[in-house]
């Protein structure tokens, strides 16, 4: 969201069937098609030198043993990640 005028971050939780869902949405620039295949790889970033590109990689590595799954949708001005955990 560094480059956007409107900076909004929304975090919400819910339960659905036998899962807890955490939704994280922001109003950033979106994820480019070029970056999408690499999102969960270490050192994947398009944010420049101040960012190491480890956040999604570490999140998935830490939460996978608990059965967490990640999905996302992204377009210009909005990206949403869903993390689902079995109850």
The answer to whether 80 and 72 have CB atoms below 8 angstroms apart is yes
Kindly list the domain boundaries of the chain, sorted by start residue: 9-86
User: Would the pLDDT of 25 be above 90?
Assistant: yes
Q: What is the pTM of this model?
A: 0.84
For 54-87, write each residue's pLDDT tens digit. Answer: 989 999 999 999 999 999 999 988 999 999 999 9
Q: Is the pLDDT of residue 2 over 90?
A: no
Class of domain 9-86: alpha beta
Percent of the chain with pLDDT over 90: 66
Backbone angles phi and psi of 77, in degrees to 5 = 90, -5
Q: What pLDDT is stored for residue 70 in this prediction?
A: 97
Whether the per-residue pLDDT at 47 is higher than 90: the answer is: no
β-strand 19-26 against 78-86: which pairing, if any? antiparallel
Q: How far, in Å, CA of 27 to CA of 31, rounded?
A: 11
């Amino acid at each position: 969201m560094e480059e956007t005028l409107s900076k909004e971050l929304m975090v919400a939780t819910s339960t659905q069937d036998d899962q807890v869902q955490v939704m994280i949405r922001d109003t950033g620039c979106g994820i480019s098609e070029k970056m999408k295949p690499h999102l969960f790889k270490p050192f994947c970033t398009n944010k420049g030198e101040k960012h190491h590109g480890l956040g999604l990689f570490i999140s998935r590595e830490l939460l996978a043993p608990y059965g967490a799954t990640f999905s996302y949708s992204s377009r210009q001005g909005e990206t949403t990640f869903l993390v689902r955990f079995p109850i």
